Structure 1
Amino acid sequence: MIPQNILQYLERHQVPYERRPHLRAITAQALAQSLHVSGFQVAKSVILRSEDAFWICVVGAPDTVDVDRVAEVTGAKGLRLADEAEFADLFPDCEVGAEPPFGRRYGLPVVMDGHLGEAETLLFRAGSHEEALELRVADFVGVEAPYLGAIIHDRPGEARRLPFDSEALQPDY
């Protein structure tokens, strides 16, 4: 079940969403399979740690975060993947491994891969392994104001690019 404070956060910011219950799914790819959608329709949160902060990286389910590219986009120093034990306390209302992408709710900066801008809607984990939220990408970007950039390892046969002008949005973290 999605924690009530996440739903209240979205409602307070007038972000429309659809709740999508599903069979228990631990990985983002399993979530996509459970809902019978492409992994590219599911956004996952990957938590990184820098010298002075934790970061939420939002990428497609089949993608892998490129830590060096995240550092380029954000300017963060000493970035690395965080261990679950390091960040579990940051999301006390959520199941470990189902961290939501709502950094403003948890006081964390968010960086989002530019590929996700190609979708109209995405499915997001929201603290539960048995229910997801479907939101419009524009609404997510509007409420979270993430850093935007090419932050994943290149997909086979695809050149590094962004589908929109990432310089147009400047986060106010």
Structure 2
Amino acid sequence: MSISVRLKSVLETNHIPYSLIAHTPTYSAQFAAAVMHEPGKDVAKTVVLRSGKNNLIALLPAPCHVNLQKLAAAAGGPVSLIEEQECNKLFPDCEPGAVPPFGELYGLPVYMDATLAADPEIILSAGTHSDALRMLSADFIRLVRPKVCAFAERS
């Protein structure tokens, strides 16, 4: 598996240049950064949370964790992690646990940590445990229109 047909179509329709990075299968963004020989701060981790009755995507640097209080302030209400099985149902065209941060494909808002938005390039999950996407942060922001705010803390 590489990139989902739906994701590829959105990127190409919107003329978003990207490169696909194939790597050894990994199950965390931090480990993916290591096998790709990239700094962890340049690789994005996707976390799916619930806020009230709605779900959202939080995007932050791989070596960080979500400060739930800060994200709750940005989201306008308490946030909590969702169960893995529910997450898998939300992303049926992806490998379990490999969530691409393209919320518009799944009807979810995206919150992007300000540190990622400030980097010129970003490396993102392509929806598999062995593929990643590299693109300009500005292109990602233009396409996804995330709410950029500060909620990541170093683990």
Given the two structures, how large is their TM-score scaled by the length of structure 2?
Answer: 0.95
The farther-off stretch of 38-47 and 79-88 is 79-88
Paired amino acid for 2:17? P
Between the aligned partners of 1:32 and 1:19, the Cα distance in structure 2 is: 14
Offset of residue 15 of structure 1:
1.1
**Alpha carbons 1:74, 1:147 under 8 Å: kept:** no
2: CA distance between counterparts of 1:7 and 1:25? 21
Kindly indicate whether residue 155 of structure 2 is the aligned counterpart of residue 135 of structure 1.
no
Q: For residues 94-123 of structure 1, give each alpha carbon's deviation from its aligned partner in whole angstroms, at most 9, with x where no partner exists.
A: 011110000011110000000112211111
Q: Is the 8 A contact 1:73 1:148 kept in 2?
A: no
Residue 17 of structure 1 corresponds to which residue in structure 2?
18
Following superposition, which runs of at least 4 residues in structure 1 exceed 4 angstroms of deviation?
none
Identical aligned residues as a percent? 38
Q: CA deviation at 1:131?
A: 0.8
Letter in 2 for 1:74: A
Residues 6-49 of structure 1: CA distance to partner in whole angstroms, max 9, x if unpaired? 11111112111101111111110111011101101100110001
Work out whether residues 10 and 16 of structure 1, in 8 Å CA contact, stay in contact via their aligned partners in 2.
yes
Q: Calculate the aligned-residue CA RMSD, in Å.
A: 1.2
Q: Which residue of 1 aligns with 2:94?
A: 94
> 1:78-101: per-residue Cα shift (whole Å, max 9, x none)?
310112112211100001111000
Match of 1:28 in 2: 29
Amino acid at match of 1:122: I
Residues 78-117 of structure 1: matches in 2 within 5 Å?
A: 78-117=78-117
Unmatched 5+ stretches in structure 2: none
Once residues 102 and 108 of structure 1 are traced to their aligned partners in structure 2, the CA distance between those partners, rounded to angstroms, is 8
Q: Residues 38-49 of structure 1 correspond to what in structure 2 (within 5 A)?
A: 38-49=39-50
Q: Does structure 1 retain, via aligned residues, the 8 Å contact 2:52–2:78? A: yes
Q: For residues 13 and 44 of structure 1, what CA distance do their matches in structure 2 show?
A: 23
In structure 1, what is the Cα distance between the partners aligned to 2:62 and 2:87?
Answer: 20
Q: Which amino acid aligns with 1:87?
A: C
Alignment gaps of 5+ in structure 1:
157-173
Deviation per residue, 1:108-142 (Å, 9 max, x gap) = 00000001122111110011111100010000000
